[in-house]
Amino acid sequence: MTKMGEDSARREERELVRACLRGDALATCRLVARFQRDVYAVCLRLLGHVQDAEEVTQEVFLRVFRSLRCWDKTRPLRPWILAIAVNRCRSWLRQRPRTKPLTDGLQMPRYDGPGESLWELQEALEEALRQLREEYKLVFVLYHDRHLAYEEIAEVIGRPVGTVKTWLHRARLELLDYLRRRGWSNELAVYVPSLLPLDSSAAGR
């Protein structure tokens, strides 16, 4: 997005929030419609249950509207809302241990090989992701599944951009190591290049 486009989007967000704070019901519906897909997707990825994700999504927007006056209008709205979603999911998981994999429904990098191999590689990717530390997993999901930029992820998790890059880099390295040890080396280079570390300088930060 260009600088002009970003400025226009920020102005639109500020106007939308002001309308919500005035009690404009239409603006409230517009805000929910604008961010509901992202919030629900993150909740589903982190909770692994449709019913839990739906319930937490509702709670997230209740919290968003209760806290809307606290939003820093100089910052983008989407990461702020997703940060509320991530924090609520963490609380939910502490209160109710999950019984389904974190990766249920995750839009993993696509592999266009033969059908059986596709299923096997998908299973291997999901199993690899289950082995990651929570913070690596979260950054990986926000980057690869929700397509947030480094700066947006930093806003969501409350960490510096350098930390985001480091965690994403380490997540990729651990995933690659897991998959290569299980014989997927050739397929990775051809069909899942998005998993390959993009910034080797991040290692060791």
In this structure, whether the domain defined by 3-95 belongs to CATH 1.10.3720.10 is answered with no
CB 100 within 8 A of CB 176: no
Q: Quick one: which of 163, 195, 203 has its CA closest to 178?
A: 195
What angle, rounded to 10 degrees, do the helices at 25-47 and 3-21 form? 110
Query: Burial of 54 by CB count in 10 Å (0-12 exposed, 13-18 middle, 19+ buried)?
Result: middle
Domain spans in the chain, listed from the N-terminal domain onward: 3-95, 115-202
Region 88-95: what's the mean pLDDT? 89
Top pLDDT among 12 and 96 is at 12
Q: What is the rounded CA–CA span in Å between residue 197 and residue 55? A: 35
Query: Tens digit of pLDDT for each residue in 147-176?
Result: 899 999 999 999 999 999 999 999 999 988
Region 104-125: what's the mean pLDDT? 60
Please, what is the Cα angle at 11 between 27 and 165, to 5 degrees? 105
Q: What is the pTM of this model?
A: 0.72
Q: What is the rounded CA–CA span in Å between residue 151 and residue 148? A: 8
Q: What is the rounded CA–CA span in Å between residue 10 and residue 31? A: 13
In the structure encoding, which two tokens stand for residue 198, read together? 């993009």
Query: Burial of 115 by CB count in 10 Å (0-12 exposed, 13-18 middle, 19+ buried)?
Result: exposed
Report pLDDT for 117. Answer: 67
In the structure encoding, which two tokens stand for residue 186, read together? 């050739």
Pick the CATH number of 115-202 from 1.10.10.60, 1.10.10.10, 3.40.190.10, 1.20.1440.130: 1.10.10.10
Residue found under tokens 């603006």? 27
Q: What is the rounded CA–CA span in Å between residue 58 and residue 31? A: 13
**CB 51: neighbour CB atoms within 10 A?**
8
User: 104 falls in which pLDDT band (50, 70, 90)?
Assistant: very low
